Amino acid sequence: MTTFVEGPVRASVPATSANLGPGFDSLGLALSMRDELVAEVVASGLEVEVTGAGADAVSRDESHLVVRAMRAAFDLMGAQPSGLRLSCANVVPHARGLGSSSAAIVAGVVLARGLVAGGALLADDEALFRLAARIEGHPDNVAPAFYGGFTISGRDEDGEFYSVGSPVDPRIQVVVFVPPTGVSTEVARGLLPAEVPHADAAADAGRTALLVAALAGKPEHLLRATRDYLHQQYRRPAMPGSLDLVDRLRADGLPALVSGAGPTVLAFTDAAGADRLLARCPDGWVSHRLEVETAGARLS
């Protein structure tokens, strides 16, 4: 018989940036900005408390994304508690291309496993990652949120998701520029064409391969490696300010790109260049100097 642990379980999950320019739906990077959550099994009912990012917009019922992910993970383990209490302290901005939905999903599956006695025996890391990717629909943000670091992920012909970690040069830092208004992933994806020229696809594949090498230890190639051919320009109508900023930064030799589906702009830098980059934040936007987060979702 499945039993639940007594008392609260705490989870911490990082923000993520997907695509990183050319690596559409395949590359993802964990960043040092984390949501903190606490969950506990109670006698009955559902209590959801949310503070921070998205607190004025997200639901407090069974449709809450963390709760939905928890329910799916409990089903995977063959156990549904009679009641739940959940508290979310959100730091990752919503609808900004920094992986807020993946952070919620990963937090939910990790919390659920932590609340089940012997949960790691019922659902190992690969099973939880695949569940989270199925809920999200694609693994590019889920993989770094779950595992941390830099990940290359995708989906096999049989429908199973996979993720492989790759190293990141410790000199590399990140600055993100977050605009005041968001863009939904659905809107951003809706602007993409069904087909692209073969030459663009080939060029993008080459830049994606170069980006893996550049992040691993050849950061002098990051500007060339972050050139995208598949998605960013098509999305300009939804985020003209973001693409204008990317163009200005890249014209000055800075490897800038749209984070995920946007509209946040991410630029790679080092310790010496981070402060200069921060000074280029547009009026009304918010900038953050971040590290590459080597740790993914964790319990405490």
Q: Which residues carry a binding-site annotation for ATP?
A: 93-103
Residue pair 21/59 in contact by the 8 Å Cβ criterion: no
Closest to 71 (Cα-Cα) out of 9, 113, 10? 113
Q: Collapsing DSSP states into helix, strand and coil, what is residue 90?
A: strand
Residue pair 148/15 in contact by the 8 Å Cβ criterion: no
Residue pair 153/28 in contact by the 8 Å Cβ criterion: yes
Q: Which residues 6+ apart lie within 8 Å of 297 measured at CB?
A: 11, 12, 13, 14, 106, 107, 110, 145, 146
d(CA 223, CA 201): 18
Q: 7: how many CB neighbours lie within 10 A of its CB?
A: 7
Q: Sign of torsion, CA 132 137 141 144?
A: positive
Residue numbers belonging to the annotated binding site: 93-103
Angle between helices 65-77 and 125-136 (to 10 degrees): 140
